[in-house]
Structure 1
């Protein structure tokens, strides 16, 4: 069985501009709590508009940089 894994925490931590979750919230207009939920992987519903805003803000062109399908343990 597989599950969707959001990789936002890793993307933020490895960003060359040393972004914080607060920075990303400001850049996207998404609530800081929502960004935090994404980073912790605690979101059960994924808003496509949020993914688009995050991808645009971080110049991500391949959605696999943000989302992965991993085998559930």
Structure 2
């Protein structure tokens, strides 16, 4: 793939993410939406494990559990 195509694709995906973020902020409070933004710290390592077979260290699992626990606490608590 050419670098120009990759940059164009990256910008298009960034634009889509920004539009999705603005739409989310219209329906939920910022404090709740921002907590779900931290799901990227959970989903990226899990995707790395599933797609590339990367190991997930034990201390990292603790961090993932804390993030998920915080999201659940804010959402349901």
Q: TM-score, normalised by structure 2?
A: 0.29
Which protein is bigger by CA-based radius of gyration?
A: 2
Give the number of the structure whose residues are more often strand, by fraction. 1
